[in-house]
């Protein structure tokens, strides 16, 4: 069961975040208002779910502490709420971001995405001794972002699932432009040990978006959209039993049709490569698998596709290098007694 959610209102205190052109509206106030509205909706619908805010007042919270709040409380989901901005008034819309190296290198939005990351990550410059806390990371130095190419996000599929639900519901308004979902190097997501998503809920630099963000009805609708996504995500999460296995371990049952690689024997330990998790069945030979043969594991309403199933981790590591050429987000997993766990 999904028992704990941490809601993170971006910025706060002496960190105002983005500011409207007229200087009257601060990102820190908008994020807090929407976050509290979201939390209240979750509390009302799910009294058994523990809702924790990284801040519930106008207070400055360091990025690493925001992540630690989620980790200490063993959160099942981390939602970071922000408002976007640009140097012109044209851009509009909402976007969702999960941890990873920037995924837009071949698109015009790449430079815009990196500017967003630099802006959000530059909050650490307001912290005392940030070079020690973040091990020399400099948000304004492109070389500092190289490390994100080496990170393995073991919660990527779950994070993407929640992000997808959010963006689908944002189509209900009040800010209907969907700017999509991307993988980006946000520090606050780097340090969380659970599915985590950073949401940019419109542009404070756009007059139409700003009008919606300033209005109580607009804020409530944005919070409702996120809540509706949370409700759908929680249903899948609870049915899959993901919360019963900490540290990324998931109880699964093996698809028994022969086309999907056979059945798991009780007591057998193997290592493989999970390429993705979907809510639909994909048979071996389907173009989506790009020629990779997989065993399909059913987990609630999701199907997890694992390639290889080697006898040793070393063998699986060799396979991982090959598969990553086709599936960059693939990662190592250990399969034991019907349980699949990401290999740290």
Residue located via tokens 């807090």? 32
- Short-list 258, 343, 248, CA closest to 299: 248
Longest alpha-carbon distance in the chain: 65
The predicted pLDDT at position 258 comes to 31
The predicted pLDDT at position 144 comes to 52
In 10 A of CB 246, how many CB atoms? 12
194 and 281 inside one domain: no
50 and 169 inside one domain: yes
321 and 294 inside one domain: yes
Residue 66 has phi, psi (to 5 degrees) of: -60, -45
- The residue out of 242, 264, 298 marking a domain boundary is 242
Cα 226 from Cα 8, distance rounded (Å): 13
Residue 29 to residues 21, 108, 128, 177, 254, Cα–Cα distance (Å) = 15, 31, 23, 23, 48
31 and 146 inside one domain: yes
The predicted pLDDT at position 141 comes to 62
The predicted pLDDT at position 110 comes to 36
Cβ proximity of 304 and 330 under 8 Å:
no
The predicted pLDDT at position 191 comes to 78
Pairing between strand 331-336 and 196-203?
unpaired
Pairing between strand 269-278 and 331-336?
antiparallel
214 and 257 inside one domain: no
- Short-list 119, 112, 78, CA closest to 93: 112
Number of domains within the chain: 2
- The residue out of 182, 211, 242 marking a domain boundary is 242
238 and 253 inside one domain: no
What does pTM read for this prediction? 0.65
**DSSP three-state, residue 198:** strand
The boundaries of the domain holding residue 280 are 247-342
Cβ proximity of 227 and 81 under 8 Å:
no
The predicted pLDDT at position 311 comes to 83
DSSP-assigned letters across all residues of 126-171: GSTTHHHHTTT--TT-GGGGGGGGG---TTHHHHHHHHHHHHHHHT
- The residue out of 242, 276, 310 marking a domain boundary is 242
35 and 158 inside one domain: yes
292 and 167 inside one domain: no
201 and 334 inside one domain: no
167 and 297 inside one domain: no
112 and 186 inside one domain: yes
CATH number at residue 149: 3.40.630.40
209 and 338 inside one domain: no
Cβ proximity of 64 and 133 under 8 Å:
yes
Cα 239 from Cα 230, distance rounded (Å): 14
Per-residue pLDDT of the chain (344 residues; tens, 9 = 90+): 999 999 999 999 999 999 999 999 999 999 999 999 999 999 999 999 999 999 999 999 988 899 899 999 999 999 999 999 999 999 999 999 998 655 544 443 334 555 666 666 666 667 766 666 655 556 566 555 544 544 445 678 889 899 999 999 999 999 999 999 888 878 788 778 899 999 999 999 999 999 999 999 999 999 999 999 999 999 988 887 554 433 333 333 333 333 343 333 345 788 899 888 776 788 888 777 888 888 887 765 567 788 887 888 888 898 888 888 888 778 888 887 767 777 76
């Amino acid at each position: 069961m999904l028992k704990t959610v941490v809601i993170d209102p971006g910025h706060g205190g002496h960190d105002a975040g983005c500011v409207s052109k007229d200087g009257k509206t601060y990102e820190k106030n908008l994020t807090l208002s929407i976050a509290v509205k979201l939390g209240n909706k979750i509390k009302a619908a799910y009294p058994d779910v523990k809702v924790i805010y990284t801040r519930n007042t106008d207070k400055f919270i360091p990025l690493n502490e925001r992540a630690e709040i989620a980790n200490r409380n063993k959160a099942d989901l981390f939602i970071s709420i922000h408002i976007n901005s640009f140097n012109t008034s044209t851009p509009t819309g909402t976007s969702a971001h999960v941890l990873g190296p920037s995924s837009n290198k071949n698109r015009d939005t790449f430079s815009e995405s990196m500017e967003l990351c630099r802006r959000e990550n530059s909050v650490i410059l307001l912290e005392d001794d940030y070079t020690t806390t973040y091990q020399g990371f400099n948000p304004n130095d492109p070389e500092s972002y190289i490390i994100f190419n080496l990170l393995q996000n073991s919660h990527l599929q779950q994070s993407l699932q929640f992000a997808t639900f959010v963006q689908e519901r944002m189509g209900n308004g009040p800010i209907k432009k969907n700017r999509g979902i991307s993988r980006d190097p946000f520090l606050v997501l780097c340090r969380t040990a659970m599915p985590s998503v950073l949401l940019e809920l419109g542009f404070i630099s756009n007059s139409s978006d700003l009008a919606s963000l300033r209005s109580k009805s607009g804020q409530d609708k944005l919070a409702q959209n996120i809540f509706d996504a949370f409700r759908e995500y929680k249903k899948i999460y609870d049915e899959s039993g993901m919360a019963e296995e900490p540290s990324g371990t998931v109880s699964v049952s093996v698809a028994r049709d022969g086309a999907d690689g056979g059945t798991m024997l009780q007591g057998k330990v193997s290592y493989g490569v999970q390429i993705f998790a979907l809510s639909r069945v994909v048979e071996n030979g389907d173009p989506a698998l790009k020629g990779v043969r997989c065993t399909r594991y059913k987990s609630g309403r999701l199907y997890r596709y694992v390639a290889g199933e080697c006898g040793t981790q070393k063998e699986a590591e060799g396979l991982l290098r090959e598969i990553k050429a086709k599936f960059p987000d693939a990662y190592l997993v250990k399969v034991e007694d019907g349980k699949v766990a990401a290999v740290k």
